[in-house]
Structure 1
Amino acid sequence: MDMMQDIAREGPLLQSWVYWMIALNTAAILFVIHRVEARWVLAAWIANLFLMGFLYETYGYTRILGLSHIVLWTPLLVYLWRRRSHFDSASWGGRYLWLVSVTILVSLVFDYVDLVRYFLGDQAA
């Protein structure tokens, strides 16, 4: 069993959210030439793939998988927040970075809750 098969067993809302994040983070490729922030998004996304894979192989499909997002996306979100004055909402790159920032923030809320629940003994997916 691999992680995408485990995700495929989840409800449509969680599946949609995961596929949204995959598509949105991968879309950073479209902006890397002109936006340094997109380069950091892509770097965090690639690092996340490796760290999430390691966590999945080590712990299985459990709540600790959110640790990957916490470790990589918390500093990314802080960086993006500090750079927000450079996000021109009239440009595609600026809109993309706002959308990524909001998506990361929402994801991190769930990830922090999942990590606390994991360490309190709720180790389910």
Structure 2
Amino acid sequence: MNDLLAAWQSDVARQPQWVQHWLDIMVIILGGFSIVFSLVRVEARWVLAGFMLGAITMLGLYSQIGYSRLLGLAHVIFWTPVLVYLLRRRDRWRVKETWSGKWIILAVTTLTISLVFDYTDVIRWVLGAR
């Protein structure tokens, strides 16, 4: 497992700086903050579950195929339902009243931006861009 994570970190380090920063932002917003807010919000528990399942699946895919556009499939599979769930609950976010409501806006924005990249990557992979 340590070798797999070291290889992943090495491949990520070869990506453009903005990609590395984007990955850090996703980990903080979808991973770190969702842990904190999962104590008070069911939405955060869904985000955390989707984040963890996506990460585990992505590492599994990575161990089989390496660093590829197809890795976005893990996000497509697990983050799309989470985003739909969050959007269906938007009348309960309480953005003005709570920090967790403000975090949900960040999470939805982060998920949406990531999924645009992920769907694009998976479609490009299917069309032959490896």
**What RMSD, in angstroms, separates the aligned Cα atoms of the two structures?**
0.9
Match of 1:81 among 84, 87, 102: 87
What residue number does 2:101 align with? 94
Query: Paired residue for 1:3, among 8, 20, 39?
Result: 8
* Residue-pair matches, total: 123
Q: Please report how far the alpha carbon of residue 9 of structure 1 lies from its aligned counterpart in structure 2 after TM superposition.
A: 1.0
Question: What's the TM-score, normalizing by structure 1?
Answer: 0.95
Which of 115, 121, 124 is matched with 2:128 structurally? 121
Normalising to structure 2: TM-score of the pair?
0.91
Letter in 1 for 2:105: W
2:58 to 52, 57, 61: 52
Structure 1 residue 59, shift from structure 2 partner = 1.0
* Alpha-carbon separation, structure 1, partners of 2:7 and 2:54: 16
Distance in 1, matches of 2:20 and 2:60, equals: 21
Structure 1 partner of 2:3: none
CA distance in 2, matches of 1:18, 1:88: 27
Per-residue CA distance 1:30-69 (angstroms, 9 max, x = gap): 1111100000111111111210111101111000000000
Gap runs ≥5 in structure 2: 1-5
Q: 1: CA distance between counterparts of 2:8 and 2:14?
A: 10
Match of 2:44 in 1: 38
What is the one-letter code of the residue matched to 2:118?
D
User: Aligned with 1:2: secondary structure?
Assistant: helix
1:105 to 2:78 alignment? no
Shift of residue 109 of structure 1? 0.7
For residues 61-107 of structure 1, what are the alpha-carbon distances to aligned partners after superposition, in whole Å with 9 as ceiling and x for unaligned?
00000000000000000000001111111211001011100110111
Q: Which residue of the partner structure matches residue 14 of structure 1?
A: 19
Segment of structure 1 superposing worse, 22-31 or 61-70: 22-31
Is there any run of 5+ residues in structure 1 with no aligned partner, and where? none
